[in-house]
Each structure stands twice: as C-alpha cells, then as structure tokens.
A and B are shown apart, each in its own frame.
Chain A
Amino acid sequence: MRGTRWSGWLIAVPMTALAFATIYPMLFTTNVAMKTQRDYIIDRFSLSRSLQWDNLAGAWTTGGLARYFVNSLVVVAAAVAMLLLLGSMAGFALSHVRFRGSRALFLGILAALFIPFQVIMVPLARTMADSALIDTYPGLVLAYVAQFLPFTIYLMASYYSGIPKEIVDAARIDGNNLYGVYRRIMIPLGTPALLSIGILDALFCWNDVLIALLMMPSAEHRTLMVGVTTLRGQYSNDIPTFAAGVLIAAVPVLVVYLIFQRQIAEAVTAGSTKG
C-alpha cells in the first residue's frame, strides 16, 4: 500500500485477528488433546502442563482409528492412482487428438461435472448393491473415481492443451504412435499437473464422509472421517481423547498442506469447481 502506510497497518490489525481466529480452533484442540481429563475439567483453556500422549494412543488403539486410518490410506491411494491414469489418458486424447465424437465426449464430461453426488446417490447405491460392490474396497474406490474423474479429466485436458503441438509432431515423426506420445511426452511433461491434481483428488477422497457412509456400512470398513464421526459418542465423557482423535485425523492433511500449499492453490484456481 504505497503512500498509505499507516492505513495498511490499520487494516493489518483486524486481518491479524482473523488469522488468529483461523488457527485458534486447531490450537485449542491440540491443547485439549494434551490434557488429562482432570485438567480439562478444572480448566480447559490454560496451557496444558503435561503432554498426554496417552490420549493419542487411546484414540489410535481403543478408538479404532488405526484400522480406519489404514482403510482410508488404501482407498485414497488406489482411487488417486486410477484417477490420474484414466484422467491423463482421456485428457490427452481430448486435448491433442481430433477424432469422431471428441467434441460430444468433451461436452458429456463437462456435463458430468455438474451432477452432484447427492443427486445420484440413491440409484448409485442400488447399482453398487446389485453388483455386490457395496461394503467392499473396490466399490468405494470406484465411487470416488466416478465422482472426481470429470474434474480430473477437465484439468488434465486444459493443462495438456498448453503443450505445443510441435513437440507432439516431432515425437510422431520420430516414429511414436499415440501410446508412445502419451508415455514419452504427456506423462513426463504433465508431471506438475499430475502432482497438483493428484494432491487435490487425494484431499477430496480423504476428507469425504458422505460417499464413504453410503458405500461402507459395516464398522470394520469405516474410513478415517467416518471414524471421527463415531468418536463423540464413544468418548462423550472423555473430551481430551475425543480431541486427540480429531487431531490424528487432521495432522496428515496439515502436513500435506505445509508441503504442497502452492500445488494445492494452483489446482484449486485451475478448476475451482469442487466435484
């Protein structure tokens, strides 16, 4: 704010207050998770005098979060791998190859972007049940892929359309067929997009609760986020352990955010249409 330095500082004050309000909930939860139950009842605000790793251990083992954590990890890894493979293949075909029906297919995929999960969840649950895919890992993976594939294709296609035609032509003259161009040009050159879109897809799948609730009814198949929703009932009298469970679910996302902040923001601004 050139020329108006003091007004800049004046605006920075409420913005700092808001920044504090943005991180305070996480800090409060972390602090509570470190308290003993007794300390929490006496004074929930004071800085924890001890670090109660027991709370984290309790939520992890008796709370069942260990199991749910692994479930989430497996499902998210499989879904993201499939999303990136299918999304980059389709994105390449749609952005660099002209073939009969390509325009109609592109519009169809765009249309699928505007179908929210809530609108199709009833018939989808029935289809999945009919194919014996409900309450199975492949079923949930498939549901995630179907949910986030249009978004992934759209972003991959828009990224690939920025790769100059000359590069592709040169590879063709070198004797590559389309599969060769995909493998030798599109995968290596598409790495930045694959990384940021992959992270965003992983966050979407990791954070989801509605699809997981619908697709995985049995307790041992719960994902981490579904597991978190059950903590409150389990630990209604043990708030520190409840807070520890919430913390366990939040920390992986926090770590990913701190490392890949720039990539996440890039992918969000490239699409901005969440599922």
Chain B
Amino acid sequence: MQSVRSAWAGRTDGTAVTSPRPLGEGQPASRRKRPGADRLAPYVLIAPAVLIIVVLRLWPLVLGVNFSFTGDGDRNGTPVGVSNYLELFRDPVFRIALRNVGLLVLLLPVAVAIPGLLATFIFLRVPGHRLFRSVYFFPAVLSPVIIGAIFNLLLSADGPLNALLGAVGLEPVDWLGEPKLAIFTVVAVHIWATFGMALVVFLAGFATLDTTLLDAARSDGASTPQVIWHVIIPGLSRTIQFVFVTTMIGMLTSMFGLLFVMTAGGPGGSTYLPEYYIWIQQGQMNRPALASAASTVLFLVMLVVGLAQVGLLRRSLRED
C-alpha cells in the first residue's frame, strides 16, 4: 500500500509492516536474558484484539457459510443442501441486485476518472486549488443517511434540481420514481458523496511523483494533456489500480444508507443491491438462512476484488 508511505513519509523509514523488526536482536544472549513474563508480553498485548477479531469477524464467516446450507422457519437448523442458493437465483429481486452489481462495474471507470481528473488539475495548481481540495472532500465525511435525506429534498418533484430544469424549459424528472432511472440517480449521488475520498488518495499518489520528470517534459515543450498522458498516468499506475479496487469495494458495501433512505429498494425492486437484499431477508422477511446464502454470494464477489487488491499489494511491495 504505497500510500501508507507517502502520507507519513516524514516519519516512516520505509520499513515494511509485514516484516516486524525483532527486539533485543543484536545483543548477546548472555548479557540480556529474557524473563518469562517478557516473552509472554507480545501475546498479552495482542490477545484482546485477536479474540475479538476471531470471535466476531472470522468465526461468523464460517457460521454464515454453514448456515446458508440449512433451512428457514419450520426447517430451521436442518440441512437443505443448495436449495437456498437455487431459490436465490430464481428470485427476480436478487437477479436485479446482481444485475445492478454489473452496472456498478460498468460505471466504475467514471467513478475513478472524475476524482482522477480533478486531482490532476489540483496538482497542476489550477487557481483556487487549495479551496477546491477541502470543499470536494467535505461530502466524503457525511453519513450516507444524511446525504440521502438531503437528496430526497433536492430531487423531489418540486425540488431545486427540477426547478433548474424548468428554468431552461425542460420537463421535471421523477429521479427516484422511474424504475430505469432510479439506480443511476442513486449511483450518481454515491459518486457525488465519495469522490473526495478518492481525490485525496490520488493527491497522496501525486506527492510521490518525480517532479524532475515533469519539469523535463515541460521544458521539452509538452502540453498539459501530453504531460497527463505520458508522465502522470504511467507514474501513478499503482495509485490508479488501488483507487479502482477501493472504489469498487465502496460501491458494494457502503450504499446501504442511501438505498435505505432514498428508495428502499424501489421502485419495483429496481434499486436493490446484494447488501440491501441481505438486510431485507434477515430483518424484514425473517429468512436468515436465505440471507446467509446471499451473504456468501456477496463474499465471493468481494473475494475476487480482495484477491486483486492483495495481488496489487504484493506487487507494490516487490517493486520497492
């Protein structure tokens, strides 16, 4: 994760986190004997954290997969094979949720390109760049619940956005009521709310760019688009890959608040995502086993994304 080093470059000496440096090494064993209590100390320090993570993060994952092969209601606890998964893929609402995941993947380049381009201009010191940076980042710290509530007002039939359309002579649009349009509206709000996050990651990446290369390109008479294309993008390839993965994870796991407040999955189930489906089946429909099956499917999707990220991490560590 190269951004760790870039952000705290002043304090870190580049030691990789994965290779902890031993204490007491280099001192003759005869001069310093390690008392038993001190040998236990690292375990004491780490035990509470490990206990919580194992019991409340790792073990539930095993339980959940196991749970997805059992029944709901009358058949609670009895093994039912893959019937939950069959039901899941027959459920038109879950199929919409998966189709919407596909849509998110298609929109991913847009969600990465917008902050990337804005970060480039800020890095090139467009007039007012400092102000832009802090203003753009602001929505990223607001809860999706607050953002959803505000946009409910902005997007309402007689709200500001439709008033703006009316001012230029266009018909008002039912942003959240049209089944074909609603998911795009929600994704657009999500991008509006989170592009500041990716923006600061990009800017941290820019800070690691070799400025002599930029100056050389400049003095050779390269135009701004040429500098972006031939110097900045190649130099930032790792940051770009990193933002792709984190933006995808964000889209898959942090849109619940928006869906909950703005559409409740509607109209006609058209804005369902897997996370919202899991919530409805668990909390409203009392179908925990079916919800577990949906969780497992979501996890498989996330695993592919996560493995891609680990691969990136490993590659970036090797390059150093």
Measuring CB to CB, which residues of chain A are less than 8 angstroms from any residue of chain B? 1-4, 7-9, 11-12, 15-16, 18-19, 21-26, 28-29, 32, 44-45, 86-87, 89-90, 92-99, 102-103, 105-106, 108-112, 114-127, 142-143, 145-147, 149-150, 153-155, 157-159, 161-165, 168-169, 172, 177-179, 182, 192-193, 203, 206-210, 213-214, 225, 228-229, 231-232, 239, 242-243, 246, 249-250, 253-254, 256-257, 261, 264-266, 268-275
Contact = CB atoms under 8 A, between A and B. Distances in A.
B201 A268 contact: yes
Contacts of A90: 45-46, 48-50
26 contacts: A18-B118, A19-B135, A28-B160, A29-B153, A86-B49, A86-B52, A97-B42, A98-B21, A98-B22, A108-B53, A112-B58, A115-B57, A115-B299, A116-B275, A118-B295, A122-B292, A155-B4, A158-B4, A158-B8, A177-B41, A225-B257, A228-B145, A268-B200, A272-B1, A272-B242, A274-B249
Given A19-B135, A94-B20, A118-B274, A127 B146 contact: no
A272 B253 contact: no
Nearest to A159: B8
Contacts of A116: 249, 252-253, 275, 298-299, 302
A149 B21 CA distance: 22
B179 interface: no
A98 B24 CA distance: 9
Interface residues of B, number: 114
B311 interface: no
Contacts of A261: 134, 137
A123 B60 contact: yes
A119 B302 contact: yes
Interface in B1-59: 1, 3-4, 6-8, 11-13, 15-18, 20-25, 35, 37-39, 41-43, 45-46, 48-50, 52-58
Which 9 pairs across A and B sit closest by C-beta, in order of nearness?
A162-B12, A207-B143, A146-B56, A98-B22, A178-B41, A123-B63, A269-B204, A114-B306, A120-B60
B45 to A, nearest CB: 4
Interface stretch (B102-110, B121-129, B168-176): B121-129
Nearest to A101: B43
B128 A12 contact: yes
Contacts of A110: 310
B254 interface: yes
Given A15-B132, A145-B52, A161-B12, A25 B61 contact: no
A45 B295 contact: no
Contacts of A98: 20-23, 25
Interface string B235-255: 000000011001001101110
Contacts of A163: 11
Given A45-B163, A269-B201, A272-B3, A119 B150 contact: no
A93 B302 contact: no
Interface of B: 1, 3-4, 6-8, 11-13, 15-18, 20-25, 35, 37-39, 41-43, 45-46, 48-50, 52-58, 60-61, 63-64, 67, 118, 121, 124-128, 131-132, 134-147, 149-154, 158-160, 163, 192, 197, 200-201, 203-204, 218, 224, 242-243, 246, 249-250, 252-254, 256-257, 260-261, 274-275, 278-279, 282-283, 288, 291-292, 295-296, 298-299, 302-303, 306, 309-310
B241 to A, nearest CB: 12
A123 B67 contact: yes
Contacts of A192: 11
B141 A270 contact: no
A181 to B, nearest CB: 8
A18 B7 CA distance: 26
Contacts of B1: 158, 271-272
A122 B287 CA distance: 10
Nearest to B37: A177
Given A86-B52, A120-B61, A229 B20 contact: no
Nearest to A114: B306
Contacts of B60: 120, 123-124, 127
A229 B261 contact: yes
Contact of A93 (B45, B56, B254): B45
A172 B31 CA distance: 13
A159 B41 CA distance: 20
B143 to A, nearest CB: 4
A118 B298 contact: yes
B153 to A, nearest CB: 7
Most chain A CB inside 10 Å of its own CB: which residue of B18, B55, B136, B296:
B18
